[in-house]
Amino acid sequence: MSRAPLPYSQKILDLFRNPKNLGKMEDATVSAVAGNPACGDMITFYLKINDQDVIEKASFESYGCAANIATSSIVTEKVKGMKLEDAWKITWKSIAEEIGGLPAVKFHCGILAVGALRRAIRTYYKNKQATPEWLPKDQTFEEKQALEEEELAKILSKKMKMAEEK
């Protein structure tokens, strides 16, 4: 049975074929993983941050889908040269708009990209043992979603293992 192709925008398809800032960053100040390797939906964000808390460069590795690669690519381009405080304000909705919209079943892919960025920013301040005033104490929607993805993936992989062992 063949499935109908997802209605991806041209921009998503272009970025999927030719993503920007793809790859591990050897001299990253901080990195963060979101998602779970068990289901394949996993991304790592790398940030190089200077003493003024400005992102000098960003890159990512993704084992997610086209939507995840495209949104991660856009996020890494956008945050370059931004102060961490401004990068924190980026929402998955604004990213989705920028790439011409996401199909509803792919919202989580964009949410995961922003979740990974925020997790990297939190990790940076945790390592520094400093918490700026603008950083919310509680996890934001994107961060929670990234966590839920991981929990869901863990449950699925457990179920798959149990089914294999039967």
- Please identify every residue annotated as catalytic: 39, 109
**What are the backbone dihedrals phi and psi of residue 148, each rounded to the nearest 5 degrees, phi first?**
-60, -40
Report the nearest approach of ligand FES to the CB of residue 163 (Å): 21
Q: Which two tokens stand for residue 79?
A: 């945050």
Task: Give the residues across from 137 on adjacent strands.
Answer: none
Report the nearest approach of ligand FES to the CB of residue 35 (Å): 7
Residues of the shown chain interacting with ligand FES in the complex, contacts defined by CB under 6 A: 41, 64-65, 67-68, 106, 109, 112
Report the nearest approach of ligand FES to the CB of residue 21 (Å): 17
Cα Rg of the chain, angstroms: 16
Edge-first strand listing for the sheet containing 30-36: 30-36, 41-49, 55-62
Q: Do 118 and 142 meet the contact criterion of CB atoms below 8 Å apart? A: yes
Q: Give the H/E segment covering residue 79.
A: helix 66-79
Smaller CB distance to ligand FES: residue 135 or 152? 152
Smaller CB distance to ligand FES: residue 19 or 64? 64
Smaller CB distance to ligand FES: residue 57 or 103? 103
